[in-house]
Chains A and B, each alone.
Chain A
Amino acid sequence: MAVSIALSVILLLGVEQLRTQARESFAQSISGTDLVVGARTSPVQLMLYAVFRLGDATHNIHWSSFQAIAAHPAVAWAIPISLGDSHRGFAVVGTTLDYFEYFRYGDGRSLGFAAGTPFAEIFDAVVGAEVAGQLGYRVGDRIILNHGTGEPGLTEHSDKPFKVAGILARTGLPVDRSIHVSLQAIEAIHLDWQGGAPLPGLSIPPEYVQKFDLAPKEITAALVGLKSRASVFQVQRFINRYKAEPLLAVMPGVALDELWSIVSIVEKSLLAISLLVVAVGLSGLVAVVLAGLGERRRELAILRSVGAGPRVVLILLAIEGAMVVLAGSLLGLSGLFAASLFAGPVLEAHLGISLHAGLSAETLQLLLLVMATGFLASLIPGYRAYRLSLADGLTPRL
């Protein structure tokens, strides 16, 4: 009995925990950025690929557009981001040194280095904590990037290996699972590529790449910080109405709200289903205790005959139900902790959602709610027993 309640509690609290922690980890991922700029698409999609590295970019934007935005008088800083390559399943991010200086997350924390320095040479790379941890990289190691994103087996930029120049401190963000290189390096590894593949018979050795124009031509997205946060509408309008190419600027907070309002229908139905499962579990408990009453008529009648009042019987049965619910809830809670310890790293690696075992006020509230409902439900068989007459239980019927 307690097991079925435990399972339903796991489901209910699990759904709630996933919901709140997914929100938290999304909200943590970006701070201090006023606008996210990219090719014109849906605001939610732009946020997903530019900030959370989920899904693929729809299109790139021209470097000249980025320069125009960065030169806008209300803009304090702008970080370019170029996506598209990967290394063993981890995203490669082409950017500038501004990324390490201006990017903020959580409560305005900036990125710190666990080892090494930002990239200085053209083929230097800065890897996130998760990349370094999983692949065992140290400063000075050589790595080879893949063209495209996805599973291994992609074409490699094997002629131009990178050197790990720095390792970032752990953040719990998609940054942990990224490899950062300079925009010039992104240009350099694609110099001898055409039409999505290396040109046959042509290979530009790494020592000669500097002979070519390595100024970035295109980037995927940009993060923009403003001098005054109140001027965000003006800059947003400037970007959205930019004549040279269609661009989209979104305010991260607004886009996240939009995302949650889309997801909230699913969230609510998940919560409704798990509440239903809890209700099924509790009514199963009631049914079992009710059925057991038949077997225990004699027992209860004897209790009554030695002086226990009907109220004592009611309280006894209510306590019994409450104990079962309590045991089930605690069992469920420990099951949930075990599950989040086990599933947490998997979720973090695949979705970038950091799941940690812990009791938030909301989960505690839900748990208390389940226990209170369980106690109320166990009053039902208690009331049945309360109504039984003393004579009923003492008259054997066969």
Chain B
Amino acid sequence: MAKFHSPHSPVSLPRGFFLLFAFLWLASPAGSAGSAAPSGNRDYKVGDQLAPADSGKAANKSSHPAAQATPTTGAPKSAGTYKEKSWDDLMPRNWDPMASLKGLKLENLKDSDPRAMEALEKMREAWSNAPVEPALNGERIRIPGFVIPLEKSGSKVKEFLLVPYFGACIHTPPPPPNQIIHVKAAKPVANMRTMDTMWVSGIMQVRSVDSEFGQAGYQLKAEQVEPYP
């Protein structure tokens, strides 16, 4: 009888217990959520932007959207038929919100010069009435950004806003209308939280200025939403 409880037993109880618990923990939602959730967003600082997947793209900032080739070899295979875009592509090429400040020679101005403030006001106005790029209408694009959930069903997100930099909306003045994409996901996306980073692929719809404030903007019918990078 005593022999059965001898240390010959293949897995002694305390160790077996530990293994059992470790297995349970790792396989449970809590264990997997802890490791799989894109909690990496804590690493971003306010204003941080996402780099496009292929590093060469970051250099040609001012290239016209139409001139963009299909994704280079560096892009993930899921890119498929989507054209990869950067957030700069969403601004019309000849749009320069800084125009009002550029004509100004700051060194020639007096302190508290009204002209400086006037130029700054003009710049701010240019930002909040930022125009959209109509050439993007109907394009199949793929773009990375930070997520702000709008509409949920259960724990899944059906509609969200995609913005180019971390902390947009919360700590800093809002991004201009041409730097916000209203995304409607074809399939609700699970495990998505505020300021998670996502690749969104889908068909872009451009609504031009509706004479009223804040009506211009981009809407994306997302066919794929996947974690970035």
Footprint of B on A, CB under 8 Å?
Answer: 16, 20, 23-24, 27-28, 31-32, 34, 73-74, 106-107, 226-237, 251, 253-254, 256-258, 260-261, 267-268, 271-272, 275-276, 278-280, 282-283, 286-287, 290, 293-294, 297, 362, 365-366, 369-370, 373, 376-377, 380, 383-384, 387, 392, 397
Contact = CB atoms under 8 A, between A and B. Distances in A.
B218 A230 contact: yes
Nearest to B162: A230
Q: What is the interface residue range for chain B against chain A? A: 35 or more
A189 B175 CA distance: 45
B153 A271 contact: no
What DSSP secondary structure best describes chain B's contact surface? mixed
Given A283-B16, A362-B29, A253 B194 contact: yes
A108 to B, nearest CB: 8
B47 interface: no
B218 A369 contact: no
A229 B13 CA distance: 58
Contacts of B151: 31-32, 253
A279 B17 contact: yes
A2 B169 CA distance: 53
Interface string B140-151: 000000001111
B20 A279 contact: yes
Given A27-B154, A373-B20, A383-B10, A230 B214 contact: yes
Contacts of B219: 230
Given A230-B161, A290-B13, A365-B29, 11 more contacts: A32-B151, A73-B212, A74-B213, A230-B181, A234-B128, A251-B169, A253-B148, A275-B30, A366-B28, A373-B27, A380-B11
Interface string B25-48: 101111001100000000000000
A261 B193 contact: yes
A16 B33 CA distance: 13
Contacts of A290: 4-5, 9, 13
B81 interface: no
